[in-house]
Amino acid sequence: MQKLVKYILPYRFIVLAAVFLIFLQCLTQLLLPDLMAKMVDIGIVGGDIDYIYEMGAYMLVITVFSMIFSITAGYFTSKTAAGFSKLLRKDLFDKVEYFSLEEFDQFGTSTLVTRTTNDVNQLQNVIMMLLRVVVVAPLTFLGSIILMMNKDISMSLVVLAVIPLLAVFVYFVSRKIIPLVQEMQRKLDGVSRILRERLTGVRVIRAFNKEETANKQYNAANDDLTAISLKVNRIAAVLFPGMLFLMNLATIAVLWYGSFKIESQHLTVGDMMAFIQYVTMIMMSVVMISFIFIIIPRAKVSADRILEVLNTESLIRDPANAQPFDEKNGNIGNDDNNKNDGTNDNNKNDGTNDNNKNDGKLSAVPIIEFKNVCFKYSDSDKLILKDISFTVSRGETVAVIGSTGSGKTSLISLIPRFYDVASGSVCVDGKDVRDVEQSALRKKVGFVHQTAVLFSGTIADNIRYGKEDATEEEIWKALEIAQASDFVENMEEGLSSYISQGGTNVSGGQKQRLTIARAIAGRPEIYIFDDNFSALDYKTDANLRQALNTEIKGATVLIVAQRVATIKNVAKIIVLDNGEIVGVGSDSELMENCGVYREIVESQKGTEFSADLTNSNDIFDSNDSTDSNDSSADSKKKVEAVQ
């Protein structure tokens, strides 16, 4: 809890002002019963009308000041609580943003959303109440007791005898509530998780007519939350009537005992009325304190959940002495880098793979290297990847293929360091990815995820995720390469067209092309495509790959593919099976030596179109063909003929 106090420190002067105003408010309220007693004893009993008016005016002025103090203090406390929650939400979001995928897997999205919203709101409400109650209740309680004892000690003892009963009652109630509140927060997480899943997967639910099943699952979780909430509220509901009973009991005791004191002329009627008001103020103070015992357990649960996030250290952190990358190569894909001047001859058939002839030192270092890599997820002991070793040279295109669950996505996720290896090392540009800053590493890598993710905003905003300062010309160029310029031009507002949350107002293929354009806009040195062509028709697929071959020539490309036809012409194909490399080579070599690859090819036979498509020259063709335009034209004709 002490870690959360720092979020109030920026508002410490506002808090002090609020406390001072609350003190003045309590002081003015404590003066009113004594003034009323004098009004009754001197003005009403004595028949002094002028005195009644005089005391009435004093009481009215004090009440107005008390109201002003209360309103101003309320403003300050609200500002402090809102500021506290703003800073806390910011730190929570910043913390979560730098979590590795391991931490996301550990917590889950739904609970992180709940902790950032509902739990922070709980603390905000508690702080706003505490700033007032913690000052008001003790001051009112102590002030009322002192003023009561100043009038009559024996009657004060009657009131004080009830207070231990109240304390014991509140203690037992709070003990019952705390574990139930903890359980309620867990149930709330469950409801949030189910709601998120059902809203995200609404198309799947409707496609399989599972609306009723989804409703039952949500209703079951909702009923569990409702049941536990009712238990909490039932116990809390007992608290107020119980305290009201004890408070009324104290009032009756004061009236009964006070009547004897008045009869013996040891107490005036005005003092009796003041006593009753002091009793009321004392009991209300106890009520306020009891509410703290109700809300603090819930706030503690929320605070613990928030601190669990804030105290979680990411498993993937930048090293203290990060090694810089050599920036000699610059970004790949610009026109200057692709001039056919012989300085960037990536595709010489001399077997030397001299991709950077100007710098022999750099050409000797693979751009990507896996050294005996093993990988497993933190919540499992099963190895997903086992003893993976291979290299990718600069400007080389490498494909990764394998059956579902063979570890393809896990393998490429290690390159931008979304996860850390269990053993071995992954090197980019000759440096272990664990020894460089993550931001520098990911600047070199253009990663296009298997699931196309777009953010709410304009098309330009989404493309600029790849390059923040991209000009409109650069955006249009990226869209043109990704075969997305046509449909963007046809949209009413062009680059300013709005993309809804999750990209639900564009098709799956359009989303794929926009995410590819986002990666191209950054002009990285390494492109990683995680099965990103599956949502594209064959014609668009062929055109896109032809454009990529021309525009990002010289860049290193690593692609995960499901279609064998897409990668058939790649010089190096890595075949994964059950987390192990079972074959590396060209299509012809693998067909001869790798049984797993042959099985994959056999499973995809029967589509003449796919076979024809592989004859076209594209980004996955390792050889530089001089008749690429003719091949592309032939491919287009075949597409049109099939369609």
Residue 335 has pLDDT above 60, yes or no: no
Residue 346 has pLDDT above 80, yes or no: no
Res 357: pLDDT: 41
Res 554: pLDDT: 80
Residue 612 has pLDDT above 70, yes or no: no
Among residues of the chain, what percentage have pLDDT more than 70? Answer: 87
**pLDDT, tens digit (0-9, with 9 covering 90-100), for 112-155:** 888 888 889 989 988 888 888 888 888 888 888 888 888 878 87
Average pLDDT in the 377-403 region? 87
Q: Which of 14-23, 45-54, 197-206, 438-447 has the lowest mean pLDDT?
A: 197-206
**pLDDT, tens digit (0-9, with 9 covering 90-100), for 419-459:** 889 999 999 988 899 998 888 888 889 888 888 888 888 99
Using 50, 70 and 90 to split pLDDT, how confident is the model at 187? confident
Phi (first) and psi of residue 544, to 5 degrees: -65, -45
Q: How far apart (Å, rounded) are the C-alpha atoms in residues 584 and 198?
A: 42
Look up residue 348 and give its amino acid: K
Residue 72 has pLDDT above 50, yes or no: yes
Average pLDDT in the 33-45 region? 85
Average pLDDT in the 50-78 region? 91
**Exposure of 50 by Cβ count < 10 A (0-12 exposed, 13-18 middle, 19+ buried)?**
exposed
Angle, alpha carbons 534-539-543 (nearest 5°)? 95
Q: What is the residue-averaged pLDDT of the chain?
A: 80
pTM: 0.66
CB 173 within 8 A of CB 328: no
Using 50, 70 and 90 to split pLDDT, how confident is the model at 535? low
Res 1: pLDDT: 59
Q: Side-chain half-sphere of 303: how many Cα atoms within 13 Å?
A: 18
**pLDDT, tens digit (0-9, with 9 covering 90-100), for 247-298:** 788 888 888 888 888 877 777 888 888 888 888 888 788 778 777 766 777 7
Res 638: pLDDT: 36
Average pLDDT in the 62-68 region? 93
Res 347: pLDDT: 41
Return the residue matching tokens 């099965």.
531
